[in-house]
Structure 1
Amino acid sequence: MSDQIKHECGIVLIRLLKPLEYYQEKYGTWMYGLNKLYLLMEKQHNRGQDGAGAVNLKIDQEAGKKYFFRQRSNKTNPIKDIFEKINEPLVKLQDHEPELLKDPKYAKENLPFAGELYLGHLRYGTFGNHSIEYVHPVMRENNWRSRNLVMAGNFNLTNVDEIFKSLFDLGQHPKDYTDTVTILENVGHFLDEENQMLFRKHKNEGLSNRDISFAIEQELDVREILERSSRRWDGGYALAGLIGHGDAFVTRDPWGIRPACYYKDDEIVVVASERPVIQTAMNVRSVQVQELKPGHALIIKKDGTVTEELVRVPQKRTSCSFERIYFSRGSDKKIYLERKDLGRLLAKTLLEKVNYDVENTVFSYIPNTAETAFYGMMDGVRQELDQVKKRKILDKGKDITPEELDEILAVEPRVEKIAIKDVKMRTFIADDDSRDDMVAHVYDVTYGIVKNGVDTLVIIDDSIVRGTTLKKSILRILDRLHPKKIIVVSSAPQIRYPDCYGIDMAKLKDFCAFSAAIELLKDSGQEKVIDDVYKKCKEQQNLPKEEIVNYVKEIYRPFTPEQISAKISEMLRPEDIDAEVELVYQTIENLHTACPDDKGDWYFTGDYPTPGGNKVVNTSYINFVEGNGGRAY
C-alpha cells in the first residue's frame, strides 16, 4: 500500500499448563513461555508500531508478593524496548549468580515475568493518542485477586459514547473517554458484580471471608461476565484478558470482523491475531491452529481447563477483507493464494487496456507488499496469452511453418523490477515542500529498461486510499523512466467509505474515490446531490444508530466505477510529468471471488455489518460538508 494507513493491533496470550519446572527439564529453560511471547510479538510487528506492552501473571503467588508484572513502551522500537527491560534483571542474575537463573522455583518467587500467564500487545493508535497511558495491556487493580483485570485488544467500537454513558449512569466516573478505558471499566463492572454475587451467596452459607475468596476464584463465570458486558458493544474486536487469580480469556465479535486464532496442547495454550505466527512460533501445521469462532470466547480457567464458549449470537460473517488484501502476513497459505487470485483476476482487463501489446508493455509492482498480487497478475497474463497463442496456432492449422510457430510461442510478458525502496524517510523536516521532495527519492528506479515514449508501464499496488503518495512521489519517480503511459493497478476496489472497526480511515475527505465523486458531481452540474445528502444526514443525526441509513451511497450512484477511476486518474496525475496516467481498480465481484470466506467490504460498498457503521459514515459526511476535522466516532 503506497499510502500507509494505520490499522489493526496484534494480540498474544500464552498460558503455560505445566509448572515452570516442567519446561526447565524438557526445554532446558523455565523461560519457555517468555521466549514464545517474544517470538509471537516480533512475528506480528507488522500489526502495530506505535507501542507495545506485555504482562505476566504468577498464579498462586503467596500473599504479600507481587503477582502482576507489566512493561509498556511507545518508543521507536517498542518490542525491543520492553524486552530489554524484561531481560534486565535476568541479565544481572546471569552475571552474578548464573545457577539461580536455572532454578524455576527461585525464578517464580523472585524474578518478574517468571509466571504461567502472558499477555502481549502491539498497538496502532486508532483513537489518535500515542501516550504511554494508552498502550495496552491496561490494568484495573484491586486487593482481591479475582477483581483484578488486565486487558489488551485489537478493536474499535462505534458507540463508546453509549457505553461511557451507561457507566456514568451506574455512578462510575471513568478516568478517560476512550474505547480502551471504557471497555476496561465496562468488563470490570460486571467482574465486580459477579464477585459480589458469589460473595453474598457464600456469606449466607457461613463461609469465612478467606474461604469465600478461594470459592469465588473457582466458581467465577467468565462467560457470563463477557456476555453481560458485551451486550452494548458495536464494532469489531478481539479482546484478551487476565483475571488476577489466574483465569484468562479471549473473546471475538459476533461478525468475525477482527481475527483471532489459537493452538492448544497439554503443555500450552497460545492465542494470536494471525494463524501463521502461531505455526512458526510453535512449529505446528495450519490444521492444528483453530480460528476462534465469531461471538465466542476462549476461556482458560485457573485449573487449566480450556473451553470455547458462546458469548454473543454469531451474525452474518463479515470478516475484514483488508486483512486478506494487505494487513495480515502473506505467509498464511490461504491469504497467499487469495492475494495471487486478486492479481490474476485483473489480468484480462489489463491486457485489454494495452491492446495485448505485451512487446511494448512492462509489468512491475510497488510497494513490496504488492509482490504476491503481482505474481498472480503475471500468472493470469500468461494464461490469457496462452489462449491467444492457441487461437493463432489453430488458425494457421497444418500450414504453419516452424518459424511462425517460434514467433507465436516467443511472445512473453516483460517482467521487470522497476522500483527499489532505498531508504526510509523520516518526517523530521517541517517544510512540506522540502518533505515532498525528499519522499520523491524514497525509491530508486531501474533505468534503461523502459523504451522512451514507447512502452506502457503497468504497476500493481495493494490498494490506493488517499493517492497522496502516488501524486507527490511515485508517479514522478516512474516518469523518470519516460514511459508513454503509466497504468497503476489496485488489487483492491475503490475505497469509498470510512472504516470504524480498527483501521484508521475515518475521514471521507481523505479518500481519492470520494473526492473524485464530489468533483464529478460538480462537473456535471449535480451539486444538489451534495446538499441533499447533507440534509438527509443532518435529519438523522440524533436518531438511534439502529435507524440511521447510509445516504452517502447517493454520492456515488450517478457514476460508474470506470468514470470514478478516470476522474481519480485525472486528479492524481501531476502536471509536471509527461506520461499519460490511468488507474485500474479491482471489482467487488472479483474481490469476493478471490476471498470467498471474508466478505467484510464496507469500506468499498458502504454495507456496514453493524448499525454503528451507518452512524459513523453519517457523521463523517456531516464533518466533511461542515469542514470539521474531528473524528466520526
Structure 2
Amino acid sequence: MSDAIKHECGIALLRLKKPLEFYKQKYGTAFYGVEKMYLLLEKQHNRGQDGAGLASIKLDVDPGERYISRIRSNQSQPIQDIFGQINARINQELELHPEYRDDVALQKEHIPYVGEVFLGHVRYGTFGKNSIENVHPFLRQNNWMHRNLIVAGNFNMTNVKELFEDLVQLGQHPKQMADTVTVMEKIGHFLDDEVTDLYQECKEKGLSKQEASPVIAENLNIARILKRASKNWDGGYAMAGMIGHGDAFVTRDPAGIRPAYYYQDDEIVVVASERPVIQTVFNVPFESIQEITPGHALIIKKDGRVLDEKVREASVKKACSFERIYFSRGSDAEIYQERKDLGKLIMPSVLKAVDYDTENTVFSYIPNTAETSFFGMVEAANDYLNHHKINLILQNKDNLSADRLKEILDVKLRSEKIAIKDVKLRTFITEDSSRDDMVAHVYDVTYGVIKPTDNLVIIDDSIVRGTTLKKSIIKMMDRLNPKQIVIVSSAPQIRYPDCYGIDMAKLETLVAFQAMLELLKESNKYYLVDEVYAKCKAQEHKQDSEVVNYVNELYNQFTDEQISDKIAEMLTEPSVKAKVKIIFQSVENLHKACPKNLGDWYFTGDYPTDGGNRVVNRAFMNFYEGKDARAY
C-alpha cells in the first residue's frame, strides 16, 4: 500500500493438552509452548509492530508457587525483545541450576513461561500513546486463582463512553476511559459475580473456602460470563482471555468483523488471527482449520474440553474486506486467489483506459502488497491478448503466411517491475519543504523500458490519502516520459471512516472525501454540506439504533467516475507532463472477488453495527467544526 495506515492487531492463544513431559519426550523440549508462541507472533508481525506481549499460566501448581507470568514490550522490535528476555531468563536458570536441564517438573516449578496455557498479542496503536501500559495482554490480579483475568484482543468499540458509564453504574471506578480497560473490567465484573454465586452454593453444601476453590474452577460458566459482559459491546472484536486456574476463551463479534481461526487435536488447541499462521507453525492442512463462528466463543476448559458456545445472536456477516485486500498475509490459499481475482476483475476498465492498445502499454505494480493483484491483472490481460490473436488468425486464415503468423504470435504483454521501494529511506527532516522532497524519493523507478508512446499501468491495492501517490509515485513515473499514467486501485474508493480497528478515523484525510467536496464547490452545491451538518447535528443525542448516515447524500451527487477523475486531477501536480487517470475497483466486483468478507463500510457507508452511523456523523461534524479529533 502506498499510503501506510496502521491497523488491526494479532492474537495467538495456545493450550497444551498433554503433560509437559509429553512434549519433552516427543519434541525434545518442555519449552515447546514458548517456541510455538514465538512463531505464532512472528508470523503475525504484519499485524502490529508497536508492541508485543506474552502471558502464560502453569496448571495445578502448589500455593506459594508463581503460576502466571507476563512480559510486554514497546521497543522497536518488540517480538524479538520479549522472547530475547524470556530466552535469557531460561538460559540463566539452566546455567545456575544444571539439575533443571532434564527434569521437567523442576523446570515447571522454577522457570517462568514453562506452562500449559499461553496468550500472545502484537499491537498497532491506532490512537493514544504507545506506552507500555497500552500493550496487551492486560492482567487483572487477585489472590483467588479463578478471579485472575488476562485479556488481549483485536478490537475497537464504538461506544466506549457508554461502556464506561455502565461500569460506573456498577459501582466501579475505572482508571481510564479506554475500550481495553472497560472491556476487561466488564468481563472481570461478571467473573467476580459468577465466582461469588458458585462460592455461595459451595458454602450452602458445607464446603470450606479451600474445598470450594477447585469446585468453583470446574463449574465456572465462561459462556454466561461473556454473554453478560458483551451484551452492550458495539464494535468489531476477537477477544481472547485466560482465567488464572487455566480456563481460556476467544470470543468474536456478531458480524464477524475481526478474524479468528482455530485448530485442535489431541495435543494442542491453537487460535490465531490468520489461518496460514496456524498452517505453517503446526504443519496442518487448510481444511483442518476452522473459523470461530461470529457471536460465539471458543472455550477451552482447564480439563481440556473444547466448547463452542453462542454468546450473542449473530448478525449479517460483515467480515472486514481489508483483511483480504491488504492486511492479512497473502499466503492464505483463499486470500491469494481473491487478490488475483481483484486484479482480473478490474482489467476491463484498464483496457478501456488504454484504448485496448496492449502493444504500447507496460503493466506494473506498487510493491509489495499489490503484487498478487498484479498477477491477476496480467492473467486477464493475457487472456484478452490470446483472444485477440485467435481473431486475427481466423480473419487471415485463407492467406496466412508463416511470417504473418509469427508476427501475430510474437505480440506479448509487456510487464516490468517499474517501482522499487527504498525501504531504508527515512523522512527524518521535519521542515515541510524538505520533507516533501524526501517523500518524493521513497520509491525508485526502473529506467529504459518505457517509450514516449507508451501507457504505463501501475496497480496499488488501495488509495487512502493519496499523499505518496502525489508526492512520490506519479512524479517518479512521469520521469520515464510515458504518454499516459494509469493508476489502478484493486479496492474501491475509501469514502468513510473506519471505527473497528483501522486507523482511518477522520473524514477530511480521505482523498475521496476531499474530491467530493471539490466537486460540490465546482457545481455550486456546497450548500449541501451545511444541510448535512444540520441533519447530523439533529441526531447527536439520539440512540445509536436511530441514527442515519447522512454523509452518503453528498457522495450521491456524483458518479464514481466523476470522483475518480477529480482524485486524479488533485493528485497530479502541475509539473507532471503525462496524462494521469485513476481507476478504482467497483464494490460489486469486490464482493465477487471476496464473497466471504462482505464488510465494505469504508467504501459504502453501510456500517455493520449501530455505532458506525454515529461515528461517521461525528466524523463529519468534527470536519465541519474544524475539530482535529477522532470520532470514537
TM-score, reference length from structure 2: 0.99
Counterpart secondary structure, 1:631: coil
Match of 2:40 in 1: 40
Q: Which is worse superposed, 282-291 or 475-484? A: 475-484
- Deviation sequence 1:327-366 (CA, Å, 0-9, x none): 0010000000000000011112111111121221111000
Amino acid in the other structure paired with 2:495: R
Match of 1:463 in 2: 462
Shift of 1:406: 2.0
Q: Which is worse superposed, 427-436 or 39-48? A: 427-436
Work out whether residues 50 and 74 of structure 1, in 8 Å CA contact, stay in contact via their aligned partners in 2. Answer: yes
**Residues 190-205 of structure 1 aligned to structure 2 (within 5 Å):** 190-205=190-205
Amino acid in the other structure paired with 1:303: D
What CA distance in whole angstroms lies between the structure 2 residues aligned with 1:191 and 1:569? 54
Match of 1:302 in 2: 302
Tell me whether 1:500 sits opposite 2:499 in the alignment.
Answer: yes
**Residues 534-553 of structure 1 aligned to structure 2 (within 5 Å):** 534-553=533-552
What CA distance in whole angstroms lies between the structure 2 residues aligned with 1:369 and 1:599? 20
What CA distance in whole angstroms lies between the structure 2 residues aligned with 1:98 and 1:290? 42
Amino acid in the other structure paired with 2:559: T
Work out whether residues 51 and 123 of structure 1, in 8 Å CA contact, stay in contact via their aligned partners in 2. Answer: yes
Match of 2:386 in 1: 386
What CA distance in whole angstroms lies between the structure 2 residues aligned with 1:95 and 1:575? 67
Tell me whether 1:377 sits opposite 2:377 in the alignment.
Answer: yes
Match of 2:109 in 1: 109
**Residues 502-541 of structure 1 aligned to structure 2 (within 5 Å):** 502-541=501-540
Shift of 1:476: 1.5
Counterpart secondary structure, 2:496: coil
Match of 2:413 in 1: 413
Amino acid in the other structure paired with 2:10: G
Match of 2:292 in 1: 292
What CA distance in whole angstroms lies between the structure 1 residues aligned with 2:98 and 2:10? 34
What CA distance in whole angstroms lies between the structure 1 residues aligned with 2:585 and 2:546? 32
What CA distance in whole angstroms lies between the structure 2 residues aligned with 1:417 and 1:79? 32
- Deviation sequence 1:125-184 (CA, Å, 0-9, x none): 123321110100001111101111000000011011111100011110101110110101
Match of 1:227 in 2: 227
Work out whether residues 55 and 137 of structure 1, in 8 Å CA contact, stay in contact via their aligned partners in 2. Answer: yes
What CA distance in whole angstroms lies between the structure 2 residues aligned with 1:440 and 1:141? 50
- Deviation sequence 1:179-236 (CA, Å, 0-9, x none): 1101010110110110111111111221111111111101000000001111101111
What CA distance in whole angstroms lies between the structure 1 residues aligned with 2:376 and 2:179? 39
Work out whether residues 155 and 237 of structure 1, in 8 Å CA contact, stay in contact via their aligned partners in 2. Answer: yes
Tell me whether 1:431 sits opposite 2:431 in the alignment.
Answer: yes
Amino acid in the other structure paired with 2:535: K
Shift of 1:539: 0.3
What CA distance in whole angstroms lies between the structure 2 residues aligned with 1:98 and 1:155? 44
**Residues 606-625 of structure 1 aligned to structure 2 (within 5 Å):** 606-625=605-624
Match of 1:265 in 2: 265
Shift of 1:573: 0.6
Match of 2:334 in 1: 334
Shift of 1:98: 4.5
Match of 2:64 in 1: 64
What CA distance in whole angstroms lies between the structure 1 residues aligned with 2:442 and 2:97? 49
Match of 1:236 in 2: 236
Counterpart secondary structure, 1:369: coil
Work out whether residues 326 and 462 of structure 1, in 8 Å CA contact, stay in contact via their aligned partners in 2. Answer: yes
Shift of 1:97: 4.2
Counterpart secondary structure, 1:372: helix
Work out whether residues 493 and 584 of structure 2, in 8 Å CA contact, stay in contact via their aligned partners in 1. Answer: yes
Tell me whether 1:580 sits opposite 2:585 in the alignment.
Answer: no
CA-atom RMSD, angstroms? Answer: 1.1
What CA distance in whole angstroms lies between the structure 2 residues aligned with 1:239 and 1:48? 16
Q: Which is worse superposed, 117-126 or 351-360? A: 351-360
What CA distance in whole angstroms lies between the structure 2 residues aligned with 1:65 and 1:216? 20
What CA distance in whole angstroms lies between the structure 2 residues aligned with 1:561 and 1:581? 17
Shift of 1:59: 1.2
Match of 1:89 in 2: 89
Work out whether residues 534 and 622 of structure 1, in 8 Å CA contact, stay in contact via their aligned partners in 2. Answer: yes
**Residues 207-218 of structure 1 aligned to structure 2 (within 5 Å):** 207-218=207-218
What CA distance in whole angstroms lies between the structure 1 residues aligned with 2:94 and 2:67? 22
What CA distance in whole angstroms lies between the structure 2 residues aligned with 1:157 and 1:102? 47
Shift of 1:109: 0.4
Tell me whether 1:165 sits opposite 2:156 in the alignment.
Answer: no
- Deviation sequence 1:377-418 (CA, Å, 0-9, x none): 000011112222222222223233322222222222100011
What CA distance in whole angstroms lies between the structure 2 residues aligned with 1:44 and 1:196? 38
Alpha carbons of structure 1 residues 35 and 23: separation in structure 2 relative to 1, 3 Å: same
Work out whether residues 261 and 273 of structure 1, in 8 Å CA contact, stay in contact via their aligned partners in 2. Answer: yes
Work out whether residues 164 and 177 of structure 1, in 8 Å CA contact, stay in contact via their aligned partners in 2. Answer: yes
Amino acid in the other structure paired with 1:86: I
- Deviation sequence 1:517-555 (CA, Å, 0-9, x none): 011001000011111111100000111110000000011
What CA distance in whole angstroms lies between the structure 2 residues aligned with 1:128 and 1:384? 49
Match of 2:591 in 1: 592
**Residues 440-455 of structure 1 aligned to structure 2 (within 5 Å):** 440-451=440-451, 453-455=452-454
Amino acid in the other structure paired with 2:473: I
What CA distance in whole angstroms lies between the structure 2 residues aligned with 1:321 and 1:422? 28
Work out whether residues 93 and 101 of structure 1, in 8 Å CA contact, stay in contact via their aligned partners in 2. Answer: no
What CA distance in whole angstroms lies between the structure 1 residues aligned with 2:359 and 2:128? 49
- Deviation sequence 1:28-63 (CA, Å, 0-9, x none): 100111110000100000000110000011112211
Work out whether residues 479 and 578 of structure 1, in 8 Å CA contact, stay in contact via their aligned partners in 2. Answer: yes
| Structure 2 residue ranges without an equivalent (≥5) | none
| Structure 1 residue ranges without an equivalent (≥5) | none
Q: Which is worse superposed, 80-89 or 336-345? A: 80-89
What CA distance in whole angstroms lies between the structure 2 residues aligned with 1:168 and 1:575? 56
Amino acid in the other structure paired with 1:203: K
Alpha carbons of structure 1 residues 542 and 314: separation in structure 2 relative to 1, 3 Å: same
Amino acid in the other structure paired with 1:428: F
- Deviation sequence 1:577-597 (CA, Å, 0-9, x none): 222211100001110111111
What CA distance in whole angstroms lies between the structure 2 residues aligned with 1:146 and 1:127? 33
Q: After TM superposition, what 4+ stretches of structure 1 lie above 6 angstroms from structure 2? A: none
Counterpart secondary structure, 1:623: helix
Counterpart secondary structure, 1:368: coil
What CA distance in whole angstroms lies between the structure 1 residues aligned with 2:369 and 2:98? 44
Counterpart secondary structure, 1:469: helix
Amino acid in the other structure paired with 2:252: R
